[in-house]
Structure 1
Amino acid sequence: MKISLIIPTFNRAALIGETIQSVIDQTYPDWECIIVDDGSTDNTVQVVNEFAIRDSRISFYKRPQDRQKGANACRNFGLEKSTGTIINWLDSDDVLAVNHFQAHINLHKKSSVNCVVSRAVTFKTNPNETEELWSIIVPKGDAWKGMICGNISWATPSPTWKKNILPVRPFNEALQDAQEWFFHTTMLLNNISYQILNLDTIKVRRHDKRIGKSVNPQKFWSRYISRLMIYKNLKKDNKLDRQLEFHLYRIMLNALKKSAYNLYIKNIFEISFSLLWCGINSIYWKQLYRAIFFGVPLYSVFKKGETFFKFKECV
């Protein structure tokens, strides 16, 4: 059973070597590592090619020019190039525990589930000195509800997937934030079967240059629109209840608040108008309108009025 590991990368020359070495060190030998560069301007290409020359299981591609820039397009392109029956994605600054492939493959062989999920732990500089769990991965009930309500979260490399159940382009290439949340939530809403592996096999690096720490309008727009798309899907399928609505609106309002604070004018107008229409028939309409008409002006101009963004669940 061959596993295809896909790594998008951009200007990670200083870190990607350690990431690739953790793949080479795997105790399970039947793998391929597909690295897709997103237009690096440092010597990432040179570092990766040195590994690819030494190990034929490593292949290196550049994102096609006709594909949208970003890690998601690289992830999807890597999937198109993959030949394994099991798919796994990894960020280019994180590392794998040596038993990651073996543990996942063992469980895939024993069960008929579509997805196996293991835990991730964090570290700063030394992967052997881990600090804490990246997140809780075991749901107390429906996993899709736990994902929406923020009770569980799966790091991008935590799940390994049977290739034949994945969509052609699993990652939404228009999103610059919350892409893994949207992907995992969508898959769970589609009733994929999964099994939890009670092991720490992913090591997530904490550092100031991590992509998740960036601040830009596209990030907050992606955070908003990802929740809105799930909101609409739930409503269409009659799965939306007050609790789910609350948690989705809570994140959407946070995206509006952050956009107001940073004066992302286009975001402010588009999110506000969208929420106005979305909230017309919602039990939360008063709280939404209060944030839009009072919170946004005060926060944008005076950096005050945070109280208008406070959001309480209706029971």
Structure 2
Amino acid sequence: MKPIPKVSIIMATYNRSEYILESIQSIQYQTFKDWECIIIDDGGTDNTQQILEPVLKQDSRFQYFMRTPNYQKGLPGSRNYGLDLAKGDYIIFFDDDDIAHPQNLELCVLELSNNDISFCRYIRDIFRGDFIYNYDYSKEYTFFYIDSQDINKILRNELQFNSCAVMWTKECYSNHRYTEHLKYAEEWEVYARILTSVNRGISINKTLYYGRKHSVSITGDFGNKNLSSLASYTDAIQLVIANLKNKKMLSNEIIRYFIQVSLEYKEYSLFGRIINTLDLPKYEELKWRLFYAHLPLRLYFYGIWKRVKNNIH
């Protein structure tokens, strides 16, 4: 019987034959060896499978699957399939075009093993072009703890939870899966659910992951105002608000933040959807409708005040 691995690495892939082998090699170079890597192909049409065949034959820790029709096409469905196959005590997601620091798994497992915590967050840097292999192998770093009280900072991206920059205990995903119709902000949405449901986590100030920046990416689509990504973001906001409301963790501070965001998404009726999700008494609903109505004027005068203040200094 095959031993149960300590860590399950889930890698969704789609037409990344140009980069995936380098990503796979960064997993093979991990100083921590007790892992499985579940590769889920989202229906790509390139030669990814042929490129991976030698690795799959030589290293049984790698497993390759085609996404089945039971999961929607896209990153969320592929990752959910990986989660359903995962056997490890800890879960981590790597992308098919990025590079993991050799100590990534080692240091995260060390933190999760020695503390009563549910996740280990670390720093993710980005690179363009060829990756420069010049790692910092120091095991000395500062850290801080994160719990559900930090949810407002996380939702406003003041405390970022970047893609592939967290290792989770398997319990974090025991009752949570990615929302499969989301094509953008799917991680942000599921992280909000998990972080308001589990114990505290730790954040270590060490770069353990390197994300490759190129034009063919979901993040690039959002920056270029891809309509499906924009619509997905508004859907994710509505789901996040519903989750916080159900858990009685929705503050006026975060309501104000999302209502301000909704000004940029009028074509998606985001403000109306927020109000419907809140399901407030009439007087509170009126308060937020008045806030929304006066918000453009308030932001205009705030902008003037800020420019004047900067000029004085």
Same fold (TM over 0.5): yes
1:294-305 alignment, distance < 5 Å: none
Cα distance in 1 for residues equivalent to 2:147 and 2:112: 23
Distance 2:48 2:298 in 1: 42
In 2, distance between residues paired with 1:66 and 1:140? Answer: 34
Unaligned runs of 5+ in 1: 131-136, 261-267, 292-306
Aligned to 1:193: 200
Q: 1:216 aligns with which of 200, 205, 226?
A: 226
2:108 aligns to what? 104
Residues of 2 paired with 1:219 and 1:82: CA distance? 28
Q: Percent identity?
A: 23
Cα drift, residue 145 of structure 1: 1.7
Q: Kindly tell me: are residues 242 and 41 of structure 1, through their superposed partners in 2, closer, same or farther at Cα, counting changes over 3 Å?
A: same
Other-structure match for 1:13 = 17
Q: How far did residue 24 of structure 1 move?
A: 0.7
Residue number among 123, 130, 151 corresponding to 1:144 in the alignment: 151
Aligned match for 1:238, one of 240, 248, 256: 248
Structure-1 separation of matches of 2:239 and 2:298: 22
Measured in 2, the distance between the counterparts of 1:188 and 1:60 equals 30
| CA 275–109 in structure 1, closer or farther in 2 if over 3 Å, else same | closer
Aligned pair partner of 2:160 in 128, 149, 153: 153
The offset of 1:311, in angstroms, is 8.6
Distance 2:163 2:145 in 1: 15
Distance of 1:36 and 1:193 partners within structure 2: 30
Which of 228, 232, 236 does residue 226 from structure 1 map onto? 236
Q: Which is worse superposed, 11-20 or 141-150?
A: 141-150
8 Å Cα contact 1:123-1:129 kept in structure 2? no
Q: Say which structure, 1 or 2, has more relative contact order (CA 8 Å, 6+ apart).
A: 2
Q: CA deviation at 1:273?
A: 4.7
Structure 1 residues 287 and 129: alpha-carbon distance in aligned structure 2, compared to 1, 3 A threshold: farther
Query: Structure 1 length as normaliser, TM-score?
Result: 0.80
Maintained 8 Å contact 1:228/1:248: no
The gaps in structure 2 that reach 5 residues or longer are: 135-143, 303-313
For residues 275 and 182 of structure 1, do their structure 2 counterparts lie closer, same or farther at Cα, with a shift above 3 Å needed?
A: closer
Aligned match of 1:45 in 36, 43, 49?
Answer: 49
Partner of 1:299: none
Choose from 246, 250, 261 the match for 1:251.
261
Evaluate the alpha carbon distance shift between residue 113 and residue 289 of structure 1 in structure 2; reply closer, same or farther with a 3 A threshold.
same
Say if 1:64 and 1:169 are closer, same or farther in 2 by CA, change over 3 A. Answer: farther
Residues 123-147 of structure 1: CA distance to partner in whole angstroms, max 9, x if unpaired? 11233279xxxxxx97699321211
User: What's the counterpart of residue 300 of structure 1?
Assistant: none
Deviation, structure 1 residue 228: 1.4
